[in-house]
Chain A
């Protein structure tokens, strides 16, 4: 009986959330665009006639035609294949590095807010330092030392993303901690672990979810910037960023627009959609903000 009641309450909360999210047309459009992009880059590549590394010796920098729908790049690789395989890598790096930041940041923020004291001072001070320092300089430094690869880029972006989550978690938990139901849980003798994991964590999830969407978007931007500079994903593997690397040469920029325009547009579309979704989530999950239609 009691269980059924909480279930139906959960259901209304969910429906309420869907309704609020659905109100934000940009967020819904962004969600659909993201799903579409994710499906395209995961499903289609195996069916493509060319692999991302395959060189067509008869077509160096060929413009789009029936054989290569988006043309080939300056060493004769099919741009369409690279676009889709590159999308896989860009999304992979964005998502995995963000999960890494979450895995480091959330426990640190949670513990800092719950235990306070020296642990809080050290962790939060460190987070402030990381946030006030231009991350890309540190990332470039680390990548230059460890050598550029998909692995290094993911790990470095992931590790350096921790303070965003730690600080957010810290702030949220500090306010939850003062709530009556926490006092209640302490009073009925719940263990500290249970309080942290069962009472505090679930209530702190909403802002984290929002932050995750935004962070994936910025992780993709960082990855593509690094790859664009030649310090991220290394060819022959493709990523949306490194496909634009060659457009630094003025001949490719001016004469072979099919090489650099599609990955750039895909990047913008993906990041834009993620930011729309993040914004929609923020409006839908936070009952205090008014819906802006």
Chain B
């Protein structure tokens, strides 16, 4: 087990380094030098710009700059935001917290809706429920999240006026759980939509596969009630691939979170990313990309380990 973790970390390391190289080289090659802001200012002399460049180490060769940047990253120093002058790490972790809440809620919503639907679909294959679930899952995977978000906003905030249009709390009600939940419903639902669509189909086919197993036939032959067979024997075993699927999908939800957070002004890293791109706040954009990469790598290792706990057939040697 310990050896497995170490080996996984050793494989993850080059991946992480690769992403840092990509992020650094692309930003370096682009025109977005931090000096650009100074250059556009007429009152600052060329000599002053050169002096600033030297101070920031911008006249050194690219690999020296890369390693000094990497050295700072390892120490957790991602620099300061050009826009707010706040430390990038603080900003990103604050955003990551809000995003995690959103993603967690979406995953819970998706499981609560999709797994029962998938199970019913499999139990009544080719019956009306199955067709409804199939059409719904097609719709859910085919509708871009921003359109779902706009439609929900239009219905629930503009027409019915029962849900807030955005933000995390009502002003003056910070840290109020009820207010948080109200603000979470729509973005949570929007972010979960795509997952609901794929999860229904995934649960369905996984159930159908397990239903063909010999031990299910044995259980039925013993005279167990259909309900018991489905819950105890079929569902439990068909959830193993579902958990793996969730493990693979959750990091990808960070991508969907960008759009959702933007529409509902949810103060997560997605919104921060867009805001930083528009204000050319490169340290923050680079910081988010690198930290998200790191988070995804760590998350993948953790899900691998959880998968082993769920399925004793898996050994880590």
Same complex for A and B? Answer yes
Give the shortest distance, in Å, between A143 (CB) and chain B (any CB): 8
* B142 at interface by CB-CB < 8 Å: yes
Interface members, chain B 183-227 (any A CB < 8 Å): none
A244–B143 CA distance with the chains assembled, in angstroms = 14
Chain B minimum-CB-distance residue to A133: B296
Size class of the contact patch on chain A:
35 or more
Chain A minimum-CB-distance residue to B15: A129
Q: Which residues of A contact B255 (CB under 8 A)?
A: 134-137
Q: Which residues of B contact A274 (CB under 8 A)?
A: 142
Size class of the contact patch on chain B:
35 or more
Q: Which residues of B contact A123 (CB under 8 A)?
A: none
Give the shortest distance, in Å, between B138 (CB) and chain A (any CB): 6
Q: Which residues of B contact A135 (CB under 8 A)?
A: 252, 255
* B258 at interface by CB-CB < 8 Å: yes
Listed stretches B69-77, B229-237, B273-281, B309-317; interface member: B273-281
Interface membership of chain A positions 227-264, coded 1 if the CB is closer than 8 angstroms to chain B and 0 otherwise: 01111000000000100100110100110010010001
* B23 at interface by CB-CB < 8 Å: yes
Chain B minimum-CB-distance residue to A268: B143
* B26 at interface by CB-CB < 8 Å: yes
Q: Tell me whether A244 and B146 are in contact in the complex, defined as CB-CB below 8 angstroms, given that A134-B296, A144-B285, A228-B259 are known contacts.
A: yes
* A67 at interface by CB-CB < 8 Å: no
* B147 at interface by CB-CB < 8 Å: yes
Contact yes or no, B158 A254, CB < 8 A: yes
Contact yes or no, B15 A275, CB < 8 A: no
A138–B253 CA distance with the chains assembled, in angstroms = 14
A275–B147 CA distance with the chains assembled, in angstroms = 17
* A142 at interface by CB-CB < 8 Å: yes
* B180 at interface by CB-CB < 8 Å: no
Q: Which residues of A contact B158 (CB under 8 A)?
A: 250, 253-254
Chain A interface, DSSP helix/strand/loop, else mixed:
helix
Q: Tell me whether A272 and B138 are in contact in the complex, defined as CB-CB below 8 angstroms, given that A137-B288, A140-B258 are known contacts.
A: yes
Contact yes or no, A132 B138, CB < 8 A: no
Residues of B in contact with A (beta carbons under 8 Å apart): 15, 18-19, 23, 26-27, 30, 32, 126, 138-139, 141-147, 150-151, 153-154, 158, 165, 248, 251-256, 258-259, 262-263, 273-274, 277-278, 285-286, 288-289, 292-293, 296, 300
Q: What are 17 pairs between A and B in contact, CB < 8 Å?
A: A132-B248, A132-B300, A134-B254, A137-B273, A224-B146, A225-B145, A225-B146, A229-B262, A241-B144, A244-B147, A244-B150, A248-B262, A250-B165, A254-B154, A260-B150, A268-B147, A275-B142
Residues of A in contact with B (beta carbons under 8 Å apart): 26, 129, 132-138, 140-146, 217, 221, 224-225, 228-231, 241, 244, 247-248, 250, 253-254, 257, 260, 264, 267-268, 271-272, 274-276, 292
